Structure 1
Amino acid sequence: MANSKYEYVRAFEQPDVLLKNTWVVVRIDGRQHNFVKPNDIRAIHLMNAAAEAVMREISELVLAYGVSDEYSFVFHKNCELFERRASKLTTTIVSTFSSYYTFLWPTYFPNSPLTPPLPSFDGRAVCYPSDQNLRDYMSWRQVDCHINNLYNTTFWAMVQQGDMDQKSAEQALKTTVSKDKHEILFSRFGINYNNEPEVYKKGSIIYRDNQKNQKPPITKATSKPSKIAKSEEYPTGAPKHLSKTQIEKEKKKRKKARVVIEHVDLIRDEFWERRPWILKGTAGV
């Protein structure tokens, strides 16, 4: 690029390189449309389809989790895409997702053409130092999914089936806990929340898998999340560097891997024990 007297303005650009050897999560949030309440399965399928397309286009992604109008995309600790610049990673995820979301809209809403205001998403990039931090982040989003869905399911049942106005329903639920909401749904509307679709209660998890459905056996069964063993972290705090040949080989492997969408519990150990390649940053073991 030729030098000019105007080039000095580049000095105003601020560095935004994310800390090395940390998980990078880019979370995007959208603006709600007039979807069916409390859950519109068409909107969920559209979000998942757009997220799956992002996973296929950006091979450096190892995991994604979505609920409602948000999606979290996870880059492994050893990712060097765009030299780990926060702005580049975030805008690439947001623009790619938004493009596919708009492109795929007619597939899921054939009788509802898009009109302004058009779908839009914002995003942010956050670093998480340890595997346990990443798991806790994912657990946080899934717990949030359950809490919000239970509330919304109860709220809209009271409004749509109980003939209550929204303000009255909101006031009635103000001091309730989870047990109360379950009771309201069952006693008043005959709804057993436990029988609601898993996609509503647990959200959507997307990952790569070239194992052809052959999952490694679980080493132990626990009902609570366990701490990540030290051996699974980098003992010296330094990343395990791969050669350029290894990096390219792994990249091709990820591109060929199946992209799987599931609606399962990722809080307990079982999800991670059956899919150890996710934390390793590979497409499969």
Structure 2
Amino acid sequence: MWKLGRAYLTDVLRGQLLCGLTPVPLQFCTRHITCTLRHLSTYKHGASPWGKAVYLKNDYLRKVSSLINFLRCAHLHITPTMAKSKFEYVKSFEADDSCLPNTWIVVRVDGKNFHRFSDSHNFIKPNDDRSLGLMTKAAQSVMEEFKGDITLAYGQSDEYSFVFRKHTTTYSRRSSKLMTNIASLFASSFVFYWPRYFHSLQLQYPPSFDGRVIVYPSEQNLRDYLSWRQADCHINNLYNTCFWKLIQEHDLTPAQSQEKLKGTLSSDKNELLFREFNINYNNLPEIHRKGTVLIMKKEDVASERHRSGPGSSPKDRRKQSSRLHILQLHCDIIGSQFWQEHPEILSDTKR
């Protein structure tokens, strides 16, 4: 009877889950069989409903308990005391968006329509250090929240990329959870710290950031992604520096400046800056040319403690401890030197 009952319930369970039906009928069947087993367990000798003599031993109650646990493991609720249990079938419609295991998870946030946002708030062109500082502060808030799980962040212009450890289990690696939590925290931090960087300048409207999740299976894929973002920083900054210099110092219109730069190569733009504005592009601030890299580093902290005992005077001793802090860099991450100096980034050891 036990084997028949468990097999019956297993078949019903599979059928309902495959068809996406409500689990209410299965709950009814479960209660019915459970009550039947409990009723039969009161007899030592007797006739079963199937017309056969049954000798029920004391382990039947344990079997009933095992049956109930089996159903609970299948995420079904058989207790009628839960008022909304019959509606929980709607959870089966949720998509399984867990990121692939053994991959690097990258979450990138981008400012939505920041061209209009920067114009509305009179950002300094081509680079506003107030905005860059605020973006980095928001990124640091995210890294503090996910301390030990985010191993590196890279930002430039109106975007930031956050790299999670390869074997992170944060939010069970669900992409929707990771993306929404990071994007919302980044946006709220951007607004929260706005007065610190823009002082009396009021926000004209709330900024917003979109987010996306990408997974990379190898270290080389991850490094190529970060190289792509830094190369993008260099290309955009070189163009924007030329574009705005032509407008600000040669009184060209945006359309005329764009036409003058149309079809030019990097070497042409470098020559234009040096010839017409006496600017060596390589001497511009690295934060503008290379973006910002944030990494977690352990910092040794010396704390004092006193030791005293009978017949001895107090004596200061140094005790070493360590803590994580966020290190801000403006350096090249395309070459190998950065990765050789910071091998812990790819080690996947939670710090």
Partner-residue secondary structure (3-state), 2:201: coil
Map of 1:69 onto structure 2: 158
2:108 aligns to what? 27
> Any idea what the Cα deviations from partners look like across 1:207-233, whole Å, max 9, x if unmatched?
011156xxxxxxxxxxxxxxxxxxxxx
C-alpha distance after superposition, 1:183-230 (max 9, x if no partner)? 111111111111100000000000011156xxxxxxxxxxxxxxxxxx
Name the counterpart of 1:175. Answer: 263
Q: Distance in 1 between matches of 2:110 and 2:191?
A: 15
Q: Which runs of 4+ in 1 moved over 4 A?
A: none
For residues 1-285 of structure 1, the aligned pairs below 5 Å read 2=82, 3-31=84-112, 32=114, 33-34=117-118, 35-59=123-147, 60-116=149-205, 118-210=206-298, 256-282=323-349
Q: 1:283: how far off?
A: 6.3
One-letter amino acid of the counterpart of residue 126, structure 1: I
Letter in 1 for 2:89: Y
Percent identity reads 50
Task: Give the TM-score normalised by the residue count of structure 1.
Answer: 0.82
Bigger strand share:
2
Q: Radius of gyration: which is bigger?
A: 2
Checking the alignment, whether the CA contact within 8 Å between 1:208 and 1:283 is kept in structure 2 is: no
Structure 1 gaps of 5+ residues are 213-252
Q: Kindly provide the CA deviation profile for residues 12-57 of structure 1, in whole angstroms up to 9, marking residues without a partner as x.
A: 2111000000000000001322221100000000000110111111
Secondary structure, aligned partner of 1:6: helix
Output the CA distance in 2 between the equivalents of 1:281 and 1:163.
Answer: 52
Q: Point out where structure 2 has 5 or more consecutive residues left out of the alignment.
A: 1-76, 301-320
Going by fraction, where is helix more abundant, 1 or 2? Answer: 2
Which AA in structure 1 matches 2:155?
A: G
Residue 281 (structure 1) shift:
2.5
SS at match of 2:110: strand
**Count of residue pairs brought into register by the alignment:** 242
Q: 1:144-196 CA deviation, whole Å, 9 max, x = no partner? A: 00000000000000111111100111111111000100111111111111110
CA distance in 2, matches of 1:69, 1:282: 30
Contact 1:209-1:283 at 8 Å conserved across structures: no
CA distance, structure 2, for counterparts of residue 266 and residue 168 of structure 1 = 35
Higher relative CO (Cα under 8 Å, sequence separation at least 6) belongs to: 1
Deviations 1:119-159 (A, max 9, x none): 11000000000011101110000000000000000000011
Alignment root-mean-square deviation, CA: 1.6
Q: Supply the distance in 1 between the matched residues of 2:125 and 2:348 (Cα, whole angstroms).
A: 37
Q: CA deviation at 1:5?
A: 3.2
Say which SS state the counterpart of residue 143 (structure 1) adopts.
helix
SS in 1 for 2:215: strand
Contact 2:165 2:350 in 1 (8 A): no
Letter in 2 for 1:130: S
Contact 2:152/2:295 (<8 A) preserved? yes
C-alpha distance in structure 2 between counterparts of 1:132 and 1:172, whole Å: 38
